[in-house]
């Protein structure tokens, strides 16, 4: 009798626990906090979701199946797909095609979370910014432009004379390739190098004077890097 009462009590608590996504309103079983689904649980309505909840919405890792049979397995935030995941799409034959990658605010953004990633930069690199699709020389979505300057480079010292600008000593493509590199040196304090016809994805170690910067370029774009050294 005690076991039956405990089981009945659990079901009542689950029914009293709200799920705030209209597509998931229906039958909820799982953990609850302040009258809302929180923790691990499962909700079955128009859609089905099983996984982590917070304040009545899917949040964290879980699996959602929509009314068409499409299934998303991955990360959620405030009820929306956010971060890395796998989407299994039903086709007309009933089998699945798979889309892997990253989502932001419920929208698929691509195979990678960001078009690029700075893997490493040495201590004397004071700043490094990377933008894309705004090259000095248009190159059909396959260029890396590296602009380098330093605090003192290109200036004149009474004791040292003209202080040289930063120089790209070596570029190591551990992934991907390029066809041609152009050196542009028409600015007083800046050296510019443009790698053309780059094969992406690419991972490059740039050796500038005695410093290093390592960057992953995940997608084919025109990248512009602005780098400044402290010395």
At 212-229, the pLDDT tens digits run 999 999 988 999 999 999
Q: What are the pLDDT digits (tens) for 145-192? A: 999 998 665 555 545 555 678 889 999 999 999 999 999 876 777 899
Beta bridge partners, 67, equal none
pLDDT of residue 136: 55
Name every residue whose Cβ is closer than 8 Å to that of residue 18 and which is 6 or more positions away in sequence. Answer: 28, 35, 36, 37, 56
pLDDT, one tens digit per residue, over 185-205 is 767 778 999 999 999 999 999
Would you say 139 and 196 are in contact if contact means Cβ atoms under 8 Å apart?
yes
The structure tokens listed for 125 are: 């690199």
| pLDDT score of 10 | 40
Instruction: Provide the 3-class DSSP secondary structure of residue 12.
Output: helix
Assign 124 to helix, strand or coil.
Answer: coil
Work out the average pLDDT over 6-11: 37
**Which residues does 115 contact at the CB level (< 8 Å), separation at least 6?**
132, 217, 218, 219, 221, 223
User: Is the Cα dihedral 69, 71, 76, 82 positive or negative?
Assistant: negative
What is the residue-averaged pLDDT of the chain? 86
**29-85: pLDDT as tens digits:** 999 999 999 999 999 999 999 999 999 999 999 999 999 999 999 999 999 999 999
**Segments in the chain forming alpha helices (H):** 2-15
pLDDT at 32: 97
The pLDDT confidence band at residue 22, using thresholds 50, 70 and 90, is very high
- How many other CB atoms are there within 10 angstroms of residue 51's CB atom? 20
Tokens for 80, please give them.
């929306």
């Amino acid at each position: 009798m005690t076991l039956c009462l405990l089981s009945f009590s659990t079901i009542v608590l689950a029914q009293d626990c709200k799920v705030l996504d209209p597509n998931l309103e229906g039958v909820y079983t799982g953990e609850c906090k302040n009258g809302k689904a929180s923790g691990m649980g499962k909700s079955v309505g128009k859609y089905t979701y099983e996984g982590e909840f917070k304040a009545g919405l899917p949040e964290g890792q879980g699996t959602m199946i929509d009314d068409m049979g499409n299934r998303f397995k991955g990360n959620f935030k405030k009820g929306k797909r956010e971060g890395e995941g796998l989407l299994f799409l039903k086709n007309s034959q009933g089998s699945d095609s798979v889309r892997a990658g990253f989502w932001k605010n419920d929208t698929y953004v691509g195979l990678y979370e960001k078009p690029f990633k700075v893997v490493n930069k040495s201590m004397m690199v004071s700043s490094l910014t990377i933008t894309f699709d705004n090259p000095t020389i248009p190159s059909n979505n396959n260029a890396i432009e590296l602009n380098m300057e330093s605090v003192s480079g290109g200036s004149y010292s009474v004791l040292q004379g003209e202080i040289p600008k930063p120089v790209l000593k070596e570029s190591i493509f551990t992934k991907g390739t390029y066809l041609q590199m152009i050196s542009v040196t028409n600015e007083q304090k800046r050296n510019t190098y443009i790698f053309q016809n780059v094969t992406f994805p690419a991972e490059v170690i740039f050796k500038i004077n005695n410093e290093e910067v390592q960057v992953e370029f995940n997608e084919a774009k025109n990248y512009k890097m602005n780098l400044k050294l402290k010395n």
